[in-house]
Chain A
Amino acid sequence: MTGQLDTSLSPKAIRSAAVMAENIRYRVFEHVMANNGGYLSQACSAAELLATLYTVANLAPLDSPKVPEPFKQVPGKNAVYLNGGDFHGEMGPDRDRIVVSPAHYALVVYAALIETGRLEASALEQFNKDGSTVEMIGAEHSPGFESTTGSLAQALSTAGGIALGRRLKGETGQVYVFMSDGEFQEGQTWEALQALAFHNLDNVRVIVDVNKGQCDGPMSEVMNIEPLSLRIRAFGCSVDSVPGHDISTLATALTRRTGKPHFVLAYTDPVRGVPVLNERSPNLHYLRFTGEEERQRYADAFAQMEDSR
């Protein structure tokens, strides 16, 4: 069952989410090969995480996958502005919300939307194209993005406000937030945690891709954030630390009722499914081929992934 707290997924649902995760990885890899680079490691780490999130969250179904509209204008007075949250279906008091914080995961989010039948597959052809809303760094007109979060560590606070507002309105739906671990370096994240705990916002459920990497390299060498679970707990929230590719465990942790704002730290493998990426470890933030030779090695790896499907 989806949309229930304290739930465990059926073997069938787990299998379905696993397929979804593999497809997310495949789709992103395919896109990266066709475009000579991109955010590949983020798909490796977050595929199961997003597949599970979209499986457990209670989102209104869409009649058919949506085709993203071209970019029209930025928000403003009398502006016609399309919100990326539309791809999550019609909102309702008992519906859940998904707020995506790390906007550079946009490609992975788009792939997840395609796999859940919310976004037309051809949308990826518009990725990072002039005049398109399918932006490289998602803004709130981009599919799946309710808020503009490319300046990192701002979404959790906004989600806190959404959760508070929903509680004031008596709504029962949860507010899921997808975050990256690097965002725990920003002070605002901790201001958000203290406010979530202070206002007892137990309708906020955060899932974090702990891939231990950031743009400059391994987080332990850029700015350490561990022991993350102890820090979060000390701020008054509940934490589950789980292996980030285990769908069943992820689902149980994500839906666990704790009476507190709840954090799931998904410890992930940033080269999962694409072991050739190990050659670049720990500099995995963005893949740009150094030459034809490297491109070919990735092409071979992609062919291998294709064969095994």
Chain B
Amino acid sequence: MSARSLSPEIVIRPHVENFINWSADKPEVLVLTADLTNSCEVGKWRETYPDRYFSMGMAEQNMMGFAAGLAREGFEPWLHTFSVFLYRRPLDQLQMSVAYPNLKVRLVGFLPGIATPGGVTHQSIDDIAIMRVIPNMTVLEVGDATEVESILDVAHAIDGPVYLRMLRGEVPRLFDTPMEFNKARVLTCAGEDINEPADIVIVTSGICTEEAMRAVPAIVDRGLKVTHLHVSTLKPFSDPTVTAALASARKGVITMENHLVTGGLGSAVAEVMAENAMAVPLSRIGLNDTYAHGASLPYLLKEYQLDARALVDRAETLTGSSLSIPDSDLAQIRVAALHSEAKAEAL
């Protein structure tokens, strides 16, 4: 077996220029921030469109209300801040002022899950669970630079509030086609089409997809039939491709997400499986009823067993077979420098 390498192109701050260009012919698009403008890669946007940028200060509850008012007046506010600050403190305002009246407010949240050294206060490990239960809310998550770019059109087309779980800084380009609404990507297919039986079906989202892509080829090499899907629309969760793939699983399904295993992708998959009476085991990879702490991403991925190795371990448990995959067969983990130039600002 040869060592593999997954060496995607690394795009530096894909949101910066893309969002500026995209906004050029959309005068209704406004940006509101809460003291994290450069940190959320809209510092240059502010310079380009100073009349459409509004600094709301560190006051997220109030920002939510202003966004609601602007949306009622026909504007499309794009709130940029860290994910945690979009739903924890201002949850009531988000629900009553924005979600209930189904307003076109775009909530762009950065530093998803444990992808920040800022520790518990900066780690949005429960955002998808909370956003997913809010009526009228649409929940999207990017897994690569192409999705950072194409999520804008997807969100813009939705009549109602949208939560965008975004990435910043150095982002790998894994996909060459744009994100599509409520449509999973089939990254690996066990057969000719999605209905053909697979030993295991792996469903991943966000940065966990890159981790899974390191492990899947090695698992396939060992003779297991694998179907691997990447999901970018977490609500609604009604893509027929996902349902068909889940139905094709013979030994089981594994989900993998940068989030608690409760309420997010793993729960969404469980709901589909239960509603369709799919009688195979489901194994959910994610944080297990725990907060995390401040450390580097590779360290935390390993500590909380969210990495490529964790996926191999789960596949072994689920299939009851030993795959004997050495670390050298799992593609190299990318390590972003702490003070890399791509990091717009500290926390």
Contacts and interface: CB of A to CB of B under 8 A. Distances in A.
Given A135-B119, A137-B122, A223 B57 contact: yes
A216 interface: yes
A185 B59 contact: yes
A215 interface: yes
In the A-B complex, the 3 residue pairs with the smallest Cβ-Cβ separation, listed nearest first, are A223-B57, A150-B121, A286-B346
A148 B121 contact: yes
A297 B60 CA distance: 38
B177 interface: no
Interface stretch (B29-37, B212-220, B311-319): B29-37
A103 B62 contact: no
Nearest to A36: B339
Given A74-B120, A222-B55, A223-B57, A182 B35 contact: yes
Contacts of A153: 58
B119 A150 contact: yes
Contacts of B120: 74, 139, 148, 150
Contacts of A182: 35, 58
Interface in A172-210: 182-183, 185-188
B173 interface: no
B36 A128 contact: no
A11 interface: no
25 contacts: A35-B339, A36-B339, A37-B339, A73-B290, A74-B120, A135-B293, A135-B294, A137-B119, A139-B294, A148-B120, A148-B121, A150-B118, A153-B58, A183-B58, A185-B35, A185-B57, A185-B58, A187-B59, A188-B89, A215-B36, A221-B55, A223-B35, A223-B56, A285-B346, A286-B345
A152 interface: yes
A25 interface: no
B91 to A, nearest CB: 13
Nearest to B299: A130
B339 A136 contact: no
Interface string B334-347: 00001100010111
B293 A71 contact: yes
A181 to B, nearest CB: 10
B195 interface: no
A288 B296 CA distance: 18
A193 to B, nearest CB: 15
B35 A137 contact: no
A186 B118 CA distance: 20
A39 B346 CA distance: 9
Range of interface residues on chain B?
35 or more
A216 to B, nearest CB: 5
A289 to B, nearest CB: 8
Given A130-B299, A151-B89, A215-B36, A74 B291 contact: yes
Given A137-B294, A150-B119, A223-B56, A187 B61 contact: yes
B117 interface: yes
A131 to B, nearest CB: 6
Interface of B: 33, 35-39, 55-62, 84-85, 88-89, 117-122, 290-296, 299, 338-339, 343, 345-347
Interface of chain A, main secondary structure? loop
B59 A223 contact: yes
Interface in A73-104: 73-74, 76, 103-104
Contacts of A138: 119
Contacts of B294: 128, 135-137, 139
Contacts of B58: 152-153, 182-183, 185-186, 214, 223
A297 to B, nearest CB: 17
Nearest to A140: B120
B106 to A, nearest CB: 20
A136 B117 contact: yes
Given A104-B346, A223-B57, A285-B346, 14 more contacts: A73-B290, A74-B120, A128-B338, A129-B295, A131-B295, A148-B120, A150-B120, A152-B58, A183-B58, A185-B57, A214-B35, A223-B58, A286-B346, A288-B339
A102 to B, nearest CB: 11
B295 to A, nearest CB: 4
A151 B85 contact: yes
B63 to A, nearest CB: 10
A149 to B, nearest CB: 8
Contacts of A222: 35, 55, 57
Interface in A224-240: none
